[in-house]
Amino acid sequence: MASSASLLLLLVAASHVCCCHGQGGDNGAVAAIYSLGDSITDTGNLAKEAPPGAFETIKHLPYGVTFGRPTGRCSDGLLMIDFLAQDMGLPFLNPYLAKNMSFAHGVNFAVAGATAMDLADQFNGSFSMPFTSNSLKLQLRWFKDSMKSTYATHAGNSSISFPLITPQCTLCFQQSGILILYVKSVCAVIRKRLQSSLVLVGEIGGNDYNFAFYANKSVSEVEKMIPAVVQTIINATKEVLDMGASRVIVPGNFPIGCLPSYLTAMAAPEPSAYDSTACLKDLNLFAAKHNTQLQQAVAGLQASYPDAAIAYADYFNSFLSLLKGAPALGFDSNSTHKACCGAGGRYNYDLRLMCGVEGTAVCADPSAYVSWDGIHMTQAAYKAMSRLIYHGRYLQPQILNFPEKNGQT
């Protein structure tokens, strides 16, 4: 057993070995994708985690109807992350909470309903979450645990368990008698893996605002949350970069004033409340403020981590581009603001009758609709968004190289 003094010296030395920083985004192929986020990206974690009866609808048809079966995705079929994986020549990402499934090409840690901030910090215990309490902090812990358990084994010893310690030294291990050489070996394996991988930190933060709006907070009140939400996302991105990630994408928020859920819940009698795309001006202005602060913070990361390739994914303007070009992209111009699956009304959305429950119906052709259930998009819309972002001008800067013959979704 090492003395406390020698163990302290060991940990100090290990801290210099294991604070893994990105060593530059090479232009080679992406070997794996690691994703953190919410329902825009979740490929089944909430469905695995939620107890029977909780968010039951996404576990059953019509969710997944275009794919052929329900998968836990909040859509009729595939998501942007699925099309991105396809274009990278990789399999679909399995959810972290799945059992006996391969994580050889990456892991999806995203959970539908997840927030960026911990709810206790955000609402001070005054607001009760309806179905999940996952946050970015929890997903980061899953990410670290996954890397540790996988690559400690690859480094040559699967029998030692190393709890992670401080965020400043994410991959240091506190274990009496551990050899510095072994710690260095584990770090090197993880760093090498992340340097050939792509990490998505988001989209996340949207639910922080959604739950505040659902708690009847005004736009001006919710705006006060933006700096804290953005900083939480940036702090998480820093941790990922310090682990050794060299290619990172941080997506912004959607123009939420265009979503059937908000168009229904916050409908205004004055035509002046709507813009030229028939979306609610104040809500889109709010989302734009979040995105402006996030973009500025991402620019700060790019300056602080010059050897890493860090990009902002512009979900806001790519979505507006999709709306404006809907007919040319194959969508019904009369249904761009309506949910495919819903219960009637101007936008075919009713909070009391969510898609999949008795009393709702599904449109004949989901591919003609942008919105699937009033909150989430259809497979066709996600495919169009993926093309606009990852193959278009809405990834800033463009940090992805697609394998030959896999360059189009």
Active site residues: 39, 373, 376
In sequence order, the β-bridge partners of residue 280 are 274
**Cβ-contact 112, 130 below 8 angstroms:** no
- Long-range pairs for 144-150 at CB < 8 Å and ≥24 separation? 144/170, 144/171, 144/243, 146/96, 146/103, 146/107, 146/109, 147/171, 147/190, 147/193, 147/194, 147/243, 148/186, 148/190, 150/103
In the block, which residue shows the tokens 């390739």?
309
The three-class DSSP label of residue 326 is coil
Compute the distance between CA of residue 173 and CA of residue 82 in angstroms, rounded to an integer. Answer: 34
| C-alpha closest to that of 85 among 397, 382, 393, 392 | 382
Compute the distance between CA of residue 285 and CA of residue 280 in angstroms, rounded to an integer. Answer: 9
The token pair at 107 is 């892991």
| C-alpha closest to that of 382 among 77, 46, 62, 70 | 77
- How many helices (H) and strands (E) in the chain? 13, 8
Helix H, strand E, coil C: the string for 155-179 is CCCCCCCCCECCHHHCCCECCCCCC
The one-letter amino acid at 409: T
The one-letter amino acid at 196: S
